[in-house]
Each structure stands twice: as structure tokens, then as C-alpha cells.
Amino acid sequence: MDNYRQTQSQVSYNQELNKNLSFQATGFYTFGSGYFEQFRFDDTLEDYGFTGVTDTSGNEVLSGNLARRRWLRNHFYGILADVKGEINQDHQWQAGIFASNYDGNHFGEIVKTWFETNSPIWNKYYNSKGQKKDVSGYARYTGKMGNVFSLYGDVQLRKVDYSIQGLLDDRRIADIQKKYLFFNPKAGMTIQVSKQNNIMFSWAVANREPARSDFTDHIGLNSDPKPERMYNYELAFRHKGELVNIQTGLYFMDYRNQLVLNGNLNDVGAPLRINVPKSYRLGWESEAEYHLHKHWTVLGNLTLSQNRILNFEEVIYDYTNGFEVLVHPLGNTPISYSPAVMGSLEILYSLNKEMSIAWTGKYVSKQYLDNTGKSDRTIPAFHVHSLRASYVLKPKFCKELTFHLLIQNLFNRIYVNSGYTYSYIFGQPVRENFYFPQAGIHGFGGFEVKF
């Protein structure tokens, strides 16, 4: 059972200082609190830190059926403020700051047992607190050089402080203090080849810190998770015509210490990530829209990519004679959960402004469950189809009343789109794959009212 609620509030202020200068600021606060509840069969009480528990007859209770709740209670607040200025109609600038603080309290409690006991076991069996302070400042410039060239530049300086302390849900002790300082520049140029066509090039550096789960899942290992850095290059072409719109481009993402999924899950079902020293994502993306007729429109997109880790080393555990860590160099391997081909096609029929119906087909190629590139750890390629329809009415009691219908997996295909895997050695190599099967044909209906 899941029970989580958030309360959000914000206040904004805008001021036009003069015709070329404006200021705006937003403050926000979010409070969240909730839990998920689990029934546990014959759990060992010592795993919860409880010893010396006795039943009503005075006999020691070592295990039993119980229900537990894992809580998250958090406060998230901050401010965003910026100033926008205009040198002239061809040159604009913007600068601002962002500051936030996140305080999260993770704790668990046993709410019910299926055995009689004289011992109190209702106190928190784990309790940890996390704090994340995030402060950044940025400056941005956009400008036109005549009617052909447009330029932009963006720089950001960001400081992140992490703190995680206390007893985690598996009763490991956390004492994590991390500080990061990131510099994220970005620049780009657009060339207006003609009224309908332009070419765009951009370059950027992006740094990102590990998430809380990356730290807590690494406790007890030899190294802490590292922040990842990406050097991003993009070259794109856009055409906007009366009947045809096309956007196509190449991208290259060069990573250092990318955090990639390793195919495993932690004890609450969240995916685990690891750093890989060098990796990249190289691809071609394309979108097109063709107005075939006043009633018919065809839309499509296609992505072809190569996603690789350089010199990947598989870490595998051997339990044959106790516990041994084995490292297998595998060379260059595909990144997990990164299909090489993705595409979709949609055919839209609009009878008039009030009624439309669309068919959509989607294809995703084979993916790997981990980063070894081994064929016995894959998610098979799949393609699915959907159908949607909408009808708009304009009754007297409201401005607009729209009815929606969506039918997914139209042809009732059996497929999976995700999963996880475990590999280890116990006398001989063992591989266990688990998949998430998707629903057969199913549908949704709804309506939207505008006043």
C-alpha cells in the first residue's frame, strides 16, 4: 500500500524597471509526507534491531509475520530570481540566481505483528536524515548578427552540498558529507539559410551529482559514486514549410564517469547505478510532419544511436568457496537500456475542428539488461500500436467540452519493455533475468471542460 501526499505553495513577484529591464522572483515551499506498507513473512526480528523479544508465555520470539511502513517526510524550499535586459531588439541578456534546501527524513516502523508479544517493538527500526543545499548563478546572452546569424551563450556556476546521516533501512550506518562545485557553459549558433531553412550548432558541458540512492547503495563498497560530466555537441537542420516540417540532427555526448544502470535493483525495487570512466552516445534524430491533405496528416520520428562504454569491466561475485570478487575485462560494450533504434509513425485524420482520430505505431529495438553486451541478458525488440480519438462540443454551460478515448496495445501484443538481471557464480555461472510484462489491449476515456 502506498500513501504519499504533497502540499505545494509559491509566491511570485514581477517588476518592470524600465522598458529595457525587468525583474522577477519566485519563492516556493513543498511539504511531502507518506509511506509504503509491506507485509513480511517470517522476518527475523534481529534484522530490525530487536532482541530479547518474548511472547505472552515468556518464550523468546526470533521471527514472525509482520507489517512495516517505510516513511519519507520532506521539506523543500527555495527562491529563483532573475533580471532580464535588452540592449536593443537584436541583443538581450539575462542573469539570475537559484537557491534551495531539501530536508528529508527517512524512517521505518513496524505497525502490526501476527504473534503475541509482551515486548514493545513499535519504535523506529531505522531513522536517517538527508539534506541537499543547491545554490547556482547564471548569465545568458542572445543576439542576432544581421538576418543570417544568431548566437547565444550561457554560463552557470553551481554549488551542491550533500549530507546523509543516520541508520538506513537495512540498518547500515550512513555518515556522508559531500560538496561539489560545477561550471556549466553552453554556446550555440543558428544560420538562417533561407526563410524556411536554418542550421543550428551547439556545444555544452553539463555536470551532475549522484542521487541519494547512489550514495546509500554504495555504502560498504570500496569507492563512493562520482559526479558525471558530459560534453555535448549537436548539429541540426530545420525546414518549416506549408506542407512539410522537418527537423533532423546529429548529436555526440562524450561522458566522464557516466552513471549508468547496472541491471540490478535494490531492496525496494529501485534500479542501481554505477560509474563508468569513459562512455559516449552518438546518434541521429529526425522528426517530420507532412500535411497530406486538409483532413490527413502524417507524423513520424526516428532515432538511430550507438551507445557504448569504453573498456568496461564486469564485476561478478563467486560464492563457491565463501565469497570472491572477480573482474572480467570486456572491452567496448553497449550501455544498458539504450536501444539502437527507436521510431514512431502517426496517421492523423481530422474530419473537422471538432473531431479527430489517430493511429500510432511505435518500435523499439533490442536492449541490454546490463552493460556486458551478452545476448542472454536482453529485452527483445517490440512494436505496439495505439488508437486515439477526440470530439469537441461547445454547449451553452461551458466554453468547450472535449471527450477523449485512447486504446493502447491495439493488437493485444505480448511484450516486455523493461526488466533486471543478476549474475553470479556458485560452482558454475548463474544468470537470472526478470521482466516486466506490459498490459494487453486496454483503454482510457475522459473529458475536459473549459469555462
- pLDDT for residue 267: 75
CA 357 to each of CA 19, 244, 296, 362, 413: distance values in angstroms, whole numbers, following the listed order? 46, 20, 10, 17, 21
Position 220 scores a pLDDT of: 63
Supply the pLDDT for residue 57.
Answer: 80
CATH assignment of the domain containing 240: 2.40.170.20
| pLDDT less than 50: residues of the chain | none
In the chain, how many domains are there?
A: 1
Give the structural domain span for 218: 2-450
* pLDDT at res. 149: 95
Q: Long-range contacts made by residues 362-367, C-beta under 8 angstroms, separation at least 24?
A: 362/386, 364/339, 364/417, 365/339, 365/340, 365/341, 366/339, 366/340, 367/336, 367/337, 367/338, 367/339
Q: What is the pLDDT of residues 113-141, one digit of tens each?
A: 888 777 666 678 999 999 999 999 999 99
Q: How far is CA 415 from CA 263, 411, 435, in A?
A: 19, 12, 10
Please tell me the distance from the alpha carbon of residue 65 to that of residue 52, in angstroms, as a whole number.
Answer: 17
